[in-house]
Amino acid sequence: MSKLSHKAELAANILIIVVAALLTGVIVQKYFFSKSATVNQQARVQPAIGSHVNLLDESRSNQSKTLILALQTGCHFCNESAPFYKRLIETVKDKNVRLVAVFPTSIEESKAHLNELGLTNLEVKRSPLENIQVSGTPTLILTNEKGEIMDFWVGKLTPDKETEVINKLNS
């Protein structure tokens, strides 16, 4: 009987090794060699420092800086960042800074969404996010008076990054 149990244990060990090898192969294939992973990495675009944002009209160029908030109505990180955006609105109230919220949806829908979040006094524009070099929301883009990108932040910001944004607006 001992010989039979030894063979069964050996077969089970071989089977475990084969399954583990197959699973490792699938994981390696999916995450390192799949075309979709390559396409997703190529599709990610970020604003380029020094490039020009065509979205902004030059008639408002009397402001020294513009902070663009690239948002989407269904983005939970955007919604969770609403308290920070309220602080931004208060911070720039008496400063020479323009705040512009950019949504891919209609201006009416975007304004309604901002009102639901308690965000007022924001200029709202409609644009495909790719047109402003954004592939993920929320993204904040800081431009100078010429519309050239000075800095940008992607995602829900940590308290340190929020402070960094406010300091850049105040400098």
Is residue 31 pLDDT above 60, yes or no?
A: yes
Residue 64 near residue 96, CB atoms below 8 Å: yes
Size (the chain), residues: 171
| pLDDT at residue 127, as a whole number | 92
Q: Are strands 97-103 and 123-126 parallel, antiparallel or unpaired?
A: parallel
Higher pLDDT, 129 or 60: 129
Tokens of 87: 């602080």
41 falls in which pLDDT band (50, 70, 90)? very low
Is residue 111 pLDDT above 50, yes or no?
A: yes
In which element (H, E) is residue 102 found?
strand 97-103
152 — phi, psi (to 5°)? -155, 155
Tokens of 24: 């490792």
Tokens of 89: 């609105």
Query: pLDDT tens-digit profile of 143-166?
Result: 998 889 999 999 999 999 999 999
Smallest CA-to-CA distance from 142 within 110, 114, 166, 107 is with 166
Higher pLDDT, 40 or 59: 59
All structural domains of the chain with their residue ranges: 2-43, 58-170
| Architecture of the domain spanning 58-170 | 3-Layer(aba) Sandwich (3.40)
Higher pLDDT, 82 or 50: 82
3-class DSSP state of 27: helix
Query: pLDDT tens-digit profile of 57-102?
Result: 655 557 789 999 999 999 999 999 999 999 999 988 888 899 999 9
| pLDDT at residue 38, as a whole number | 37
Higher pLDDT, 170 or 84: 84
Is residue 115 pLDDT above 60, yes or no?
A: yes
| pLDDT at residue 39, as a whole number | 37
Higher pLDDT, 78 or 43: 78
pTM score, whole prediction: 0.72
